[in-house]
Structure 1
Amino acid sequence: MRVFAIADIHLSKAFPKPMNIFGPEWEGHPEAVFEEWQKVVGEDDLVIVAGDISWAMKLPEAMLDLADLAKLPGIKVLLRGNHDYWWPSISRLRQALPPRMHALQHDSLVIGNLAIAGSRGWDTPGSYNFTPEDEKIYKREVERLGLSLKTLQGHDYQYLVLALHYPPFGPTGGPTGFTELIERYRPTCVVYGHLHGADPERLPKHWNGIPLHFVSADVVRFRPQLILDTPHQTHTHQPTR
């Protein structure tokens, strides 16, 4: 199974929102997302969509975007971003999702020999305008990522992808509660997005030897990035809690 990742696709079928107001790199969005996806992803592949999936405010509106995603090749694993206001309770969301589409929230997913854990993340101490409220959310998100990873105890897998919406490191590339968990659990790799206009060459490529993949849609030119190629296995999908 090949594993791809992309973040910040910012779909908006219910209420179209041109993204080129954020810069010329968004010209041709969202058509570019669907075109590039179909160029590289096959039906037996898996794609992690690491947050900021839809501008919708409510689930019925977001379902228009999720239905379009469902038509694309591959298994999809969704993670919540800071703009995914439409994201309801996880039980309600999972009941509404199309086949071969999964959502992570405080838990993990095992498919064959691949495990995926993750959390939204948040701004970290030292970030610009970091408030006491940000501190509370940051600590809560670190705890949630820990809970997600703990659900994998007792499960058999060979590869672990840790997915976040926010970057796991601090604003100057320093350690955080998220990087402590990365060091403790030693995933195969980490994916994240959220940042726009950042120079990927100035961001950490590894954390203590573990690859970090920055996959914001505008940075990767709207093409899902191949992060892992595992031997094919056909075990039943297994959500873990």
Structure 2
Amino acid sequence: MRVYAIADLHLATVTPKPMTVFGPQWAGHPDVIYERWRETVRDDDVVLLPGDLSWAMRLPEAIQDLATVAALPGTKVLLRGNHDYWWPTAGKLRSALPPGMLAVVNDAVRVGNVVVCGTRGWLTPGHDPLGAEDERLLAREAQRLELSVQAAMRLRQPGDHLLMMLHYPPATPPYPANPLTRVIDTARPELIVYGHLHGVPVERSMRHVGGIPAHLVAADVLKFTPRLLLDTGAAVG
């Protein structure tokens, strides 16, 4: 079983939204993603999708995008992004997800010998401090990440790989510590994936959190090809 990741698919089957406003590389991007996904991912692999899957505003509008992604090879693990306005409560989401799709919502999932935790995240302090409202939202996301980590520890078996998804980057240059990085430092996942940032060269992205590898996996950064994170050598259970 191999584990891949790709964020920010920004699909818009029912609610068209041209992504070419962000650059010509986005022209026809859904078909490019689907083609490269099929070339790369096998049925027994896992693909992490850390946010911004669909531009839909409501769940019924997102169903077609979800079904299209579900039909691609691999087991998919979803996380909410800041543009996933369609994302409902955990119960409604899970009852609507097609087979082969899982979601992390203040909890964790286990696929084969991989346990995945995470949360959306929020703006983090960098050169400038955050305002009071952003501080509140960041603290809430840190609490949600802590809940997810606790759930992951309950699921984790000896030899399992602990992976973490965020949508927002875990920190902002010059990368001072923040509530999210403090949870990460305690949890010590094997690696972190995040999206949200577009047009940022990988070499200029945040690549470690306290020595833990961090991977920017926004679709355009990956040239719309799922990125291989690890090969576990285990079958999907």
TM-score under structure 2 length normalisation:
0.94
Displacement, 1:36? Answer: 1.2
Paired residue for 2:214, among 187, 212, 215? 212
How far apart are the structure 2 equivalents of 1:108 and 1:226?
21
How far apart are the structure 1 equivalents of 2:215 and 2:24?
23
1:23-102 counterparts in 2 under 5 A? 23-102=23-102
1:1-241 counterparts in 2 under 5 A? 1-126=1-126, 130-155=130-155, 156-157=157-158, 158-235=160-237
Displacement, 1:35? Answer: 1.0
SS in 2 for 1:135: helix
* Contact 2:169-2:206 within 8 A present in 1 as well: no
Give, as a single letter, the amino acid of the residue that structure 1 aligns with 2:88: P
- CA RMSD, Structure 1 to Structure 2 (Å): 1.5
Displacement, 1:28? Answer: 2.3
How far apart are the structure 1 equivalents of 2:127 and 2:51?
20
SS in 2 for 1:226: strand
How far apart are the structure 1 equivalents of 2:153 and 2:222?
33
Displacement, 1:153? Answer: 3.0
Q: Which residue of 2 aligns with 1:239?
A: none
After superposition, the C-alpha distances for 1:4-61 in whole angstroms (9 at most, x for unaligned) are 0010010000022111111122122121111111110000000011100100000000
SS in 2 for 1:30: helix
Displacement, 1:126? Answer: 3.5
How far apart are the structure 2 equivalents of 1:166 and 1:160?
19
* Contact 2:125-2:171 within 8 A present in 1 as well: no
SS in 2 for 1:87: coil
Gaps of 5+ in 2: none
Select between 24-33 and 111-120 the one with higher mean Cα deviation: 24-33
How far apart are the structure 1 equivalents of 2:148 and 2:43?
27
* Contact 1:110-1:116 within 8 A present in 2 as well: yes
How far apart are the structure 2 equivalents of 1:111 and 1:227?
15
Displacement, 1:129? Answer: 8.6
How far apart are the structure 2 equivalents of 1:27 and 1:234?
34
TM-score under structure 1 length normalisation:
0.93
Aligned length: 235
**What is the percent sequence identity of the aligned residues?**
50
How far apart are the structure 1 equivalents of 2:127 and 2:31?
33
After superposition, the C-alpha distances for 1:144-201 in whole angstroms (9 at most, x for unaligned) are 0010001123431520110000011223223222211221111111000001122321
SS in 1 for 2:34: helix
How far apart are the structure 1 equivalents of 2:7 and 2:226?
9
* Contact 2:38-2:72 within 8 A present in 1 as well: yes
* Contact 1:190-1:213 within 8 A present in 2 as well: yes
Give, as a single letter, the amino acid of the residue that structure 2 aligns with 1:224: P
Gaps of 5+ in 1: 236-241
SS in 2 for 1:76: strand
* Contact 1:124-1:171 within 8 A present in 2 as well: no
How far apart are the structure 1 equivalents of 2:42 and 2:187?
30
* Contact 1:79-1:103 within 8 A present in 2 as well: yes
Displacement, 1:127? Answer: 6.9
